[in-house]
Amino acid sequence: MRVLTKLRSRRGRWLLWAKYSASSVVATVVSQVAFALCYWFGTPALVATLVAWLAGAIPNYLLNRRYTWGRSGQKLPYTIIVVGSAIAAALVTSLTAHLVQPIESHAWKTVLVSGSYLGTYALLFIAKFVLFDRLVFASSEPAADRAPERTPVAT
């Protein structure tokens, strides 16, 4: 019975990971397109990052809340995590934009700066999952209040 419980638990974690990944893909596509378009049309990297972050944060929160974890999360930890991610992306993209200034091709600049935006979020992907799972969408039910695992008794 204990093995079955572990298998269900493991299956549940993989399903949660898959849902989180799918939600992240949707948000990433939305924000990446927003960033690339903004930057391509001359928006400074910092502003493009903020626009892209906002474009991706809304579907990301809604999908994570409803689809991935199926419950409302703690708003303050969520806000801190996503704003921290946006700040990291803003710093990285601004630095990258500065470093690619000598490149003449605007297309290459856009590819490189957009790549740095994507890379930042790729690096934060696992950390955000853990933080969302443990802080934002953690069960509000204390461990002591949960139903205890039952061990079958032979009679």
Share above pLDDT 70 across residues of the chain, in percent, rounded to a whole number: 83
Of residues 9 and 59, more confidence is placed in: 59
Of the chain, the end-to-end C-alpha distance in Å amounts to 16
Report the pLDDT value the prediction gives residue 145, as an integer from 0 to 100. 42
* Token reading at 39: 């930057």
The pLDDT-based confidence of 107 (bands split at 50, 70, 90) is very high
pTM equals: 0.75
- Two tokens, residue 139: 């069960």
pLDDT for residue 148 is more than 70: no
Q: Is residue 124 part of a domain?
A: yes
Domain interval for residue 78: 17-138
Tell me whether residue 154 is in a domain: no
| Residues 146, 95 contacting (CB under 8 angstroms) | no
| Domain assignment of residue 121, yes or no | yes
Do the domain assignments include residue 12?
A: no
How many structural domains compose the chain?
Answer: 1
Inside any domain, residue 25: yes
Give 153 or 88, the one with higher predicted confidence: 88
Q: Is residue 122 part of a domain?
A: yes
pLDDT at 135: 85
83 vs 153, residue with greater confidence: 83
**8-state DSSP, 41:** T
Would you say residue 50 lies in a domain? yes
Going from the C-alpha of 133 to that of each of 88, 129, 130, the distances in angstroms are: 21, 6, 5
Residue 8 has pLDDT above 70, yes or no: no
What is the structure's pLDDT at 64?
A: 83
pLDDT digit string, tens, across residues 10-48 = 777 888 889 889 999 999 999 999 999 999 999 999 999
**pLDDT of res. 72:** 76
Structure confidence by residue, pLDDT tens digits, 131-141: 988 888 876 54
User: Is residue 125 a part of any domain in this protein?
Assistant: yes
